[in-house]
Structure formats: C-alpha cells, structure tokens
Chain A
Amino acid sequence: MKGLGVAVVVALASVIWASAAYLKFDLLALFSAEARTGMLQYAAGFFPPDVSAEYLRRIGAGALETLAISGMSTLLAAIFGMLVALPAAGRFGAAARAAARFILNALRSIPELVFAALMVLAAGLGPFAGTLALALHTTGVLGRLFAEALENTPRESAEALVHAGAPRIAAFFYGTLPNVLPQCVAYALYRWEINIRMAAVLGFVGAGGLGQMLYVALSLFHEAQAASVILGMLALVLVVDEASAQLRRRLASAQG
C-alpha cells in the first residue's frame, strides 16, 4: 500500500513537471524583480476605481443589460427546451426520441462562449448575440432536465383525460403539465442564476453587457474603469446569490 502511494505521488509529480516543461512555464521568472515591478505597476493602475457618477450610470445600464440577456435567454431556452423535451421523453416514437436527444446533447456540450463567438458572426456585436448564445446552450441543458421530469411523471392523470374524451393537447396541458411545472420552473430559475454569471462574461467576445464594457475598458488601457466594472460584476453576483438563497429558504419553509 505504501509503495502504491509513493508511486502515485511520483507519477503525479512527473506529470506536473512535464506540463510545466511543455508550457515553458517559469514561476521564478514571474516573480523576478523586473516582472514584479511590472505586475505591481499594472495592478496599481486599477486603483482607485473610477466612481464618477457618469461611469457608474453606465455600469448600472450594463448590469441591467446583463440581467435582460440572462432573463430573455433563460425564457427562450425554457420554451424551446420544453418543445424538444416532448420528443426527447419518447412521446413521438423512438426515432424522434433519438434525434431530439442528439440535438440536446450537441447544444449542451458546446460552451456558451463558443456559441457567443458564433452568434456575434450571425447577429453582429451586441446583446442580441449574447441572448441567442445563452439560449442555445441553456436549451440543451433545460431540455434534458425537462425530458427527465416528463419521463418520471405519472401518466395516469393524462390518460384518464384521454379516456374521458379529451384531445391529446388538452390532456397534456391539464393532466401532465401541472405535475411537472413546479420542477421545470425550479430548474429554469436555477439556470437563470447561472446564466446571470455567464452573461456577465460573455461580452468578452462582443456579446454585450458588463463583459463587453470590461473588455473595451481593458483594450483602451482604462484600468480604473475596468476595476469599477469588475466591482460591478461582483456586486451583481453577490446580490443574485443572496436573493436566490433567500428565495430558496422561503420556499423550503413554505413547503416544510
């Protein structure tokens, strides 16, 4: 057992050493006197952050845009996710099920930022590209979760409606949807929270919101402004974290 432990540590150390060698990564050079002063000078440029009323207003507008991007994209993803989840849950036969699952997997495994770069090509710079990019990736995630919820829900209530003569669509809306809706809404809210964080950084490839402001500020060497955008991002994330924690606590106590 002890020999195995030593072997694992040695193997790990050599993999890490090989990685550093391959990247020509030199930690000592990063901490050399010259690099240190350069780094400190760069970092000092960020202080004090730009807190002029004019710029704070623009950050507020950027934060609002980020919220709008995340909200719109989550809503779109919930709608399209449900549309694809129906075949993915096997309601239209095995072939449709396989095709829908393939689409959902493909959407899910391509990261938001890659979609964003693609959508900037398709829709031009700006928040619309970010909305589409987030919506595409989130459709993949929510569609799969919705499909699982649909598969796990009891079929009796919908079947009872069909046997009583209700059309299939009505049976879905009144027999199935009420069973899965609370879970689907919970999933969508959870993804919205993640998407707010994502929307804040998607702007790096030109997809609007706070990220684009940060990218522009850094490109123009306005470090003080960049610092205030980063603080704005932090504030946004902290507020969202706190709000969702509060909401969860309240929901839990309402249920329990």
Chain B
Amino acid sequence: MRLSAAAASRDPAALPRLALAALALVLLWPAIRLTEFDPATLLDPANARPMARFLGQFLPPEASLEFLALVGRATLETLAIATLGTALAFAIAFPLSLVTTTSLSLSALGPARDEPLRRALRYPARLVLIVLRAIPELVWALLFVRAVGLGATAGVLALAITYGGMLGKVYAEIYESASNRPARALMEAGAGRLQAFLYGVLPAALQEMVSYTIYRWECAVRASVIMGFVGAGGLGQQLELSFRMLNGAEACTILATFLLLVLLADALSAFFRRLLA
C-alpha cells in the first residue's frame, strides 16, 4: 500500500496505466496462440534460406526484352480489365440507381397509383445492390475463376459485380443529396420520371457521378492486379507465377511495374477530376 502510494505521488497516471497494460496482455494471450505467432519460424533455415535467395535475386531486376514485352502485355490486360469492369459496373449500377433512389418517387408528391407495388420493387433492388457489394471482389474473382476458367474474364465479371453494387449505392445517394425541387417541379407539371431525371436531377449530379466513377476506375486498376493472384489475369497472375517459381528478378520487375501503374492511374484520375472541377 505504501509502495503504491509512493508511486502515485510520483506519477498519478501510473496505476491505471499498469492496470490497462496488464488487461491488454491478458487479452493478447489467446490472440498470440490463435495466430501461431512465433518469430522464430522466420529464422528457421528451412524458411530463411529460400526466402533470402528469393529476395537476393531482386537485384538486378529481370530486364530482358522478351520478359519486358510479356510484362507490357500483362499491364495492358490489367488496364483493360479495370476499364471494362468499370464500364460493366456502370451498366449494372445506373439502372438500379434509378430504381432505388427516392428522389424520383412519385408517391412523395402525393397519392400515386400502385404505390405499394412501386415500393415493393424498390426494396429488392436495394437488396441486390447490398448483396453485390457485400461480398469482396476477391471472393467473386475466385468463384468466377472456377466457373469460367483462369483469365481476364473472371476478373472483369468480379469487378463488374462488386463495383456495380458500390456505384449503384453512391449514384442513388448523389441524386438524393442534390436539391429535389427541379425534379419535383417537373413531375408536378406532368413530366415523366425519366424526363424529370434527365432535366431535373442529372444536371446537378453529373459532375459528382463522373468524378466518383473515375475514382472507382483507379481503385479497379489496383483491384485487378490483386485479383490476378487468384488467377483472374493481368499483372497479378504473372506476379503470382514468379512468386511460385521463386524467381526474384521477375518478381522485382513486376512489382516495380505495378507501383508505376498505380502511380499512373492515380495521376490520370486526379488529372481528369481536376479537369471536371
């Protein structure tokens, strides 16, 4: 007791801090066991020797013309997967966003015909969007690789589905964040819902929609490289191959290309979005 009082006079925060640290250690113990946390395995010669050889090969990177041409083709494939995937995602998202948004709701104006039916349609569409984006693109990619085979098609489909769900949700939110007065005025004057959208909502929402879609394309470039690891084509698949064959020089070249590609996509997307603003 005297000891803790002395400690407390020196540092009033010491006791609670010690208690917190002790509690953290107690909670940590099961986590350490569950993750089989053991840094010694890194130094085990059976692991360390091939790893050191692999990393040692990183310099110099593989730069033969033949390999660079292969990497160039894989890079183009990655860009094409991202572009086509985003385009298909748009094709999924845009109609669904029109169905799910409340800013084009006729019943908000007053009693409308078939109101329960319209509402009954909106909820399933929302549910579809949620399911599409709730499953990560990597899981979709893995499923599609089994369904349609190794290669770019699986990556395009996986991107289209996940990003379709994300874009659809965000588009609907963009329509709703803009003022709904123009669309309402048009619908009250007797315009159809599509007309009200084109002339009342789209002009205010277009810039933000385009900007967000470009940003998603940038994410899609990164995602399509990562999906390559489960066999969905592009740079990622080449990188996975070079990892599996423990070819450090090739892995280094591909990693450098990946970093450059991400920087490029970043700059391109920033440039287009600045152009819009």
Contacts and interface: CB of A to CB of B under 8 A. Distances in A.
Interface of A: 15-16, 18-20, 22-23, 25, 30, 35, 38-39, 42, 64-65, 68-69, 71-72, 75, 109-111, 113-114, 117-118, 121-124, 126-128, 130-131, 197, 200-201, 204-205, 208, 214-215, 218, 230, 233-234, 237-238
B99 interface: no
A42 B147 contact: yes
Contacts of B51: 121-122
Contacts of A109: 259, 262
Shortest beta-carbon contacts, A-B, top 7: A68-B34, A19-B80, A19-B84, A68-B31, A19-B83, A23-B152, A127-B35
B125 interface: no
Interface stretch (B136-144, B179-187, B189-197): B136-144
What is the interface of chain A mostly: helix, strand, loop, or mixed? helix
Given A23-B77, A23-B156, A204-B230, A128 B135 contact: no
B54 interface: yes
B147 A39 contact: yes
B36 interface: yes
Interface residues of B, number: 51
B34 A123 contact: no
A121 B50 contact: yes
Interface in B162-188: none
A237 B136 CA distance: 10
A124 B135 CA distance: 27
What is the interface of chain B mostly: helix, strand, loop, or mixed? helix
Contacts of B50: 121
Given A117-B229, A118-B243, A128 B146 contact: no
Contacts of B32: 72
A233 B83 contact: no
B134 A23 contact: no
A128 B152 contact: no
B64 interface: no
A72 B31 contact: yes
B183 to A, nearest CB: 21
Interface stretch (B1-9, B37-45, B101-109, B113-121): B37-45
Contacts of B77: 22-23
9 contacts: A15-B83, A30-B148, A69-B34, A121-B243, A122-B47, A123-B47, A127-B36, A204-B229, A205-B240
Contact of A25 (B38, B142, B153): B153
Contacts of A205: 229, 240
Contacts of A42: 146-147
Nearest to A43: B147
A111 B226 contact: yes
A23 B81 contact: yes
B21 to A, nearest CB: 13
A117 B245 CA distance: 12
Contacts of B143: 218
Interface string B17-43: 000000000001011101111100110
B161 to A, nearest CB: 13
Contacts of A204: 138, 142, 229-230
Given A75-B28, A201-B136, A234-B134, A25 B84 contact: yes
